Structures are given as structure tokens and as C-alpha cells.
Amino acid sequence: MTKAEGIWKCKVLDGRAGENDKTLIEVNINVEIIEGPSVGSRCTYNETIDGKSALYASYSMKAVGWAGRDAMSLKDDIAAWVERTGGESTVEIKHLMIKNGKKAGQVWDKVSSIGRKPKVLKDPSAERLNDANDALARAMAAANNGGYDDAPPTDDDLPF
């Protein structure tokens, strides 16, 4: 069953680093989704640590308690972090189309990251807030002139 795309709350179960069959160091972090349409599903974040992905792997590793010194400490660092915090985090699922092989044309529900948080919003300047409020008022006025009442339009009414 394909997991829902998005950023969902999860419970970190465990993780480790080790050498894969291509003799590269790989990180695995196992989680259970605790929110949204895929609640109860388990999935694994996998990332090979190389020149291209090491920084991104470190973000997810640090989000689950990795001390940042030795990849092989990940298992123990995660266990300590889960014990200390309860292990609640977030998991980002992205849907990617498989292009080659036996599963070509199917969707891969890739675990893209662990511990990603929504962007922090700051209070807007008065000018930006006025611009946004004016845009909302114009959009609502145009929609009312288009025959809409207070109900949001259906998907059939959207121009895209």
C-alpha cells in the first residue's frame, strides 16, 4: 500500500549505520507513522553516505539524536534519544515515479527525510499584511461576482 505523500508525525523505532552490498556506508532509520492517512505504517529512511548525500543524511541523523561524531554511534545515539524524548519526530514521504525495471510506471513512496519541520513563519510587516489582505478581498469579491457564495469552489470549478 502506498503511503500518503507529505510530512507526518512519526515515532522513531531504531536505526543504524553499516556497510551495504556496494561497500558504501548506509544509514537506516525505522519509523512508524502516527498521524494522517498512513497511520500505523512503518517505513525506513535509507541514505548512502557519500560526497553528494552526507550533508542531507546528517540532518536526518541529528534529528534523531546522533551526536555527530561517528556514523557507527547512530544505533546507540538513537536508542538514548528515544529513551530521553519518547522518539516523536516527523517523516517526509515523497512520491516518485519509477522509470526503469520491472516496476517502471509505479509510484515509489520514498522516505525523503526524518525530523523536517514546517518553515517558521514570522510576523509580517504592516505593508505585506495589507497587501495580502487586499489580495484576499479582491479574490473573494471576484469569486462572489462569479456566482460563488461562501462555500469554497469544487475541484471542477478550479481553472487548473
Examine residue 152 and state whether it is found in any structural domain, yes or no: no
Domain-embedded: residue 133: no
Residue 141 lies in a domain: no
- State which residues form the domain around 95: 6-114
Residue 132 lies in a domain: no
Q: What is the DSSP string of 73-120?
A: GHHHHHHHHHHHH--EEEEEEEEEE--SSTTTTSEEEEEEEES--PPP
Its pTM surpasses 0.85: no
Q: Which residues contact 32 (CB under 8 A, 6 or more apart)?
A: 10, 11, 13, 40, 41, 42
Q: Flag whether 90 is in a domain.
A: yes
pLDDT in tens, the chain (160 residues): 677 878 889 999 999 999 999 999 999 999 999 998 889 999 999 999 998 999 999 999 999 999 998 999 999 999 999 999 999 999 998 888 888 889 888 877 888 899 987 666 788 899 999 999 889 888 888 877 555 555 665 666 666 5
Is residue 58, in this structure, part of any structural domain at all?
A: yes
